[in-house]
Structure 1
Amino acid sequence: MSIFKPAIFRLNHDHERLVAPIVADGAIGTGGIGDGRIIPLVILDTSQRSDIDAAIEAQASVHQGDVKVQWGQLPGHDHTVALYLTLQRPAEAFVIVEFDLTKNQGVLVENILASRGLYIQAGRPGDRLKHDVNRPKLLAEVPDTGFRPAWDRLYFDYTVKAFRARGLPRPAAKQAARAAIREIRKIVSIRPAFATSED
């Protein structure tokens, strides 16, 4: 049973139901954006979502547009969480970014929650951030929406199950899950030297 409440989104077109899968990820940190936080980036396969390409191009021209975000979970997708983005200005689009815990993408979710932001870049399978660092990107602010308690529960339960699948007894699996998540949170909270001010 899902821990998320049902939600209804208004779509501009039927194709907005299509999830553009994550084909690569990375992170960007600059002193002038996000107070120097390392903000994660996902490259989406937009081969079936040309509207996302157009929206990112439009958003990039104004540096940061108007984007509303909400966390949730697609029906029947028990091992994923989704970030729903409603792009309003300068271009309208509805984008679902789905994070698969079986592919270790829970680390991305932790990074988003820590940095309170996400870069989205359009691409195709095989693309990487290093291939074209200047390609247009959409920067979405991801404020505290009250998602953290639900995420903590879901991520812990999933991590315990993963350790159990490796043969650990339940008490040891819980201990290992806590330690693993604690380490992940230490890593995503690191800020680069340029973000540290010296008096």
Structure 2
Amino acid sequence: MRVVADGAIGKQGTAAGRLVPVVMVDMSDHPDVAELVRVHQYLGPGDCHSQWAQGRDGLLLRLRFERPIELTIAPTFALPEKAGLVDQVLSARAIYLQHGVAGDRMSTTMHHPRLLIELPPTGFEEQWEGIFFTALVKVFRDGGLKRSEAKAAARDMIVRWRELGSIRMR
């Protein structure tokens, strides 16, 4: 399942007030995933195990649900396009999973049901530092910067990006 759109929601009392990324995947061909999101609106928390993996098309977040429905999905985050989103997911240690199609925005999908999934540290975070830096260097190199300039820009971008991600709702 490819991530087709994203956004973020910050709420007091949820994820310590951190901005939690909303990961939108097209569930049109996956009614079981849509049912999982729907059912969670009416039931208490379930069990979900997570694991990050590198794939051909980007990073995969394998989510294995045990309750209330047994199901495994793996949203794919294309790199470098979704590198910032992945960084925010790792920072928030949570995501909202919701149905979406390419071009969707939070402003037009606020009424869509979504499922909050907590993502405890898995050890992938250390690997991510290198992956994120490399992805940003590539973006800046593709934009015409020299290697040393691209590395400096990537370091600066990471600092500024994480400042944004440290916003808390109080």
Q: 1:24 to 1:161 in 2, by over 3 A?
A: closer
Whether 1:106 and 2:83 are equivalent positions in the alignment is yes
Provide runs of 4+ in structure 1 moved above 3 Å.
123-128
Aligned counterpart, 1:33: 14
Greater shift, 159-168 or 179-188, is seen at: 159-168
Counterpart pick for 1:185 among 156, 162, 167 = 162
The answer to whether the 8 Å contact 2:83/2:135 transfers is no
Map of 2:74 onto structure 1:
96
Question: 1:69 and 1:179, CA in 2 relative to 1: closer, same or farther beyond 3 A?
Answer: same
Partner residue in 1 for 2:98: 121
Query: Bigger shift: 59-68 or 151-160?
Result: 59-68
Q: Which of residues 101, 104, 111 in structure 2 aligns to 1:134?
A: 111
RCO comparison, higher one (Cα < 8 Å, 6+): 2
Task: Return the structure number with greater strand share.
Answer: 2
Distance in 2 (CA, whole Å) between partners of 1:22 and 1:84 is 13
Task: Give the corresponding residue for 1:47.
Answer: 28
* Greater Cα shift, 85-94 or 56-65: 56-65
Q: Matched residues in 2 for 1:112 and 1:58: separation?
A: 23
Deviations 1:99-157 (A, max 9, x none): 11232x11111111111100001233444333342322111101111111111111111
Q: Which has the larger radius of gyration?
A: 1
Counterpart for residue 147 of structure 1: 124
Gaps of 5+ in 1: 1-18
What number of residue pairs does the alignment pair up?
A: 170
Aligned to 1:16: none
Q: Do residues 164 (structure 1) and 141 (structure 2) align?
A: yes
Q: Which amino acid aligns with 2:67?
A: R
Q: Which amino acid aligns with 2:38?
A: E
Query: Structure 1 36/124 Cα, relative in aligned 2: closer, same or farther at 3 Å?
Result: same
Q: Secondary structure at the match of 1:101?
A: coil
Normalising by structure 1, report the TM-score.
Answer: 0.79
CA contact (8 A) 1:44 1:120 kept: yes
Given that 1:64 and 1:139 are in contact with CA atoms closer than 8 Å, whether structure 2 keeps it comes out as no
**What is the distance in 2 between the residues matched to 1:129 and 1:169?**
36
CA distance in 2 between partners of 1:156 and 1:123 (Å): 28
